[in-house]
Amino acid sequence: MGISAREKEKVPRTMVTEVAGEEPGVRVFVVRSEERLAYERDMREAAMERTRQALEKLSLRVAAGRLKKAQKIGEAAARILARNHGSRYYGWSLEQGVFRYFEHPVHLTPEKALEGHYVIQTEELDLSAVQAVEAYKDLSEVERSFRELKDLIEMRPIYHHRPNRVRAHIFVAALAFLLARALEKKLKAAGVPMSSAQALEALRTIHVVDIRVGAEIRRGVTAGNHQARQILAALGIRSSTQGTIRGRIYCSGAHSSHG
């Protein structure tokens, strides 16, 4: 299972079988993923609902006599079905001025049957079916991590024109990826089921706080939430109070800042 699957309360299953390929030396595996099935089904149902609402509005326009010409009705229906893959899910008819729409009797069934399935091809002869899926999931995790890199380090898009700046940019991204993976391995070893993105979000609950007591400003670190404390324990990091900072008082009372 991938990292995102491990984070779920009920871990989704992945099933795989090898089938005969058409090219010599190329092995083909058909994979069924419960996680992908749930995602693709939700996406289809959302697209179907948007299409259904649009077709219902068209039906009401025709019934109210606001749209009468068959050509105009057909053009409107075609525009609706061109969006959100609507033609895969619905058909329509116009008989004696009555517009009807319905779930497509041919296209919808194979659409549902394909949900949750994907195909892996490889020329590696020594891989078992399970090992092929594991290798694919590892690659997917790497791709997912690289997609998240700029979010994790909050780096905006940057366009470079000098080779040394390109190398520096790639180095920072690769370093962030390395740290993210190292964090996930530490968390896994400690039995903390989190991705690096989830861990970093939990760590945001830890703050540096300045408290003004009389003429003195003292700086400390908050403990963070339960998840943050789990992460620090897994990494072997202890949160401790920093040294005090003295300065001139500009107002009375307590003052705190977060960083």
- Would you state the pLDDT for residue 173? 76
Residue ranges of the chain with per-residue pLDDT less than 50: 3, 241-259
- Would you state the pLDDT for residue 256? 43
- Would you state the pLDDT for residue 223? 79
DSSP-assigned states of every residue in 161-205:
-SHHHHHHHHHHHHHHHHHHHHHHHHHHHTT----HHHHHHHHTT
- Would you state the pLDDT for residue 168? 84
Q: β-strands 98-103, 117-122: how paired? A: unpaired
21: nearest Cα among 88, 120, 109, 103: 120
- Would you state the pLDDT for residue 250? 33
By the 8 A CB rule, do 181 and 148 touch?
A: no
- Would you state the pLDDT for residue 114? 94
- Would you state the pLDDT for residue 241? 43
By the 8 A CB rule, do 207 and 222 touch?
A: yes
4: nearest Cα among 195, 197, 231: 195
pLDDT tens digits, 111-153: 999 999 999 999 988 889 988 888 887 777 666 666 655 555 5
According to DSSP, the residues that pair with 209 across neighbouring strands are: 220
Look up residue 8 and give its two tokens.
């779920």
- Would you state the pLDDT for residue 4? 54
